[in-house]
Chains A and B, each alone.
Chain A
Amino acid sequence: GAGVSQSPSNKVTEKGKDVELRCDPISGHTALYWYRQRLGQGLEFLIYFQGNSAPDKSGLPSDRFSAERTGESVSTLTIQRTQQEDSAVYLCASRGVADGSNQPQHFGDGTRLSIL
């Protein structure tokens, strides 16, 4: 079946512009995560959606970052007034439940964001 799909795959924009990144999770997956990965670094948790519960926003680095998800479908991560330090790969992952237990996270290939 289809995996996690992210778009665009690459985004180059000027400092100060707003950007919107999209994630299409695996169908039926109730949980969705956004991570940031700077060049050569590990995964930095940003935000987590679980069904209709309030999202866990504890990883968002500033109020310039926000994310939305409607139900169990597409999610968008928005970065306002981009700064050069926002340059990174933004990864999305989704997770389902099977047989009453949580399943592993499945990742998309990310959006590579470059701020000029």
Chain B
Amino acid sequence: GENVEQHPSTLSVQEGDSAVIKCTYSDSASNYFPWYKQELGKGPQLIIDIRSNVGEKKDQRIAVTLNKTAKHFSLHITETQPEDSAVYFCAARDSNYQLIWGAGTKLIIKP
């Protein structure tokens, strides 16, 4: 079955710098890859997603890239702000339409 690995587990960046979080997946049949942001005491919220028929998607300061050959996808946040501090989860949808989740990355934005 599908397996998703996420790195790093913790990422600390200076405010204004960029942050990159990477995930790899194992099942080449997976075709949908969402990213969720979870703030303290809240449920995860979808911030961006990408389907396997495109290589990149951008929404303001957030972008996701997908390399199907290498089976990895990445979240890029530019011009980081204090409110970007949160835990970020990647996921891959398997052939049963279930999301297989990464372990999460705690992003810390230093002022």
Residue numbers of A with Cβ under 8 A of B are 4, 41-43, 45, 48, 56, 91, 93, 102, 104-110
B97–A107 touching, CB < 8 Å: no
Q: How large is the interface on B (under 10, 10 to 19, 20 to 34, 35 or more residues)?
A: 20 to 34
Q: List 13 A-B contacts (CB under 8 A).
A: A41-B103, A41-B104, A42-B104, A43-B44, A56-B98, A104-B34, A105-B34, A105-B99, A106-B46, A107-B43, A107-B45, A108-B43, A109-B42
**Complex: how many Å from CA A108 to CA B43?**
5
| Residue picked from B41, B44, B97, B98, most chain A C-beta under 10 Å | B44
Rounded to whole Å, the gap between the CB of A2 and the closest CB of chain B is: 14
B103–A109 touching, CB < 8 Å: no
B41–A109 touching, CB < 8 Å: yes
B98–A110 touching, CB < 8 Å: no
**Complex: how many Å from CA A48 to CA B98?**
9
A91–B98 touching, CB < 8 Å: no
Query: Besides A4-B43, A93-B43, 20 other CB < 8 A contacts?
Result: A41-B103, A42-B89, A42-B101, A42-B103, A42-B104, A43-B101, A56-B96, A91-B44, A102-B32, A104-B34, A104-B46, A104-B49, A105-B34, A105-B46, A105-B99, A107-B36, A108-B43, A109-B42, A109-B43, A110-B43
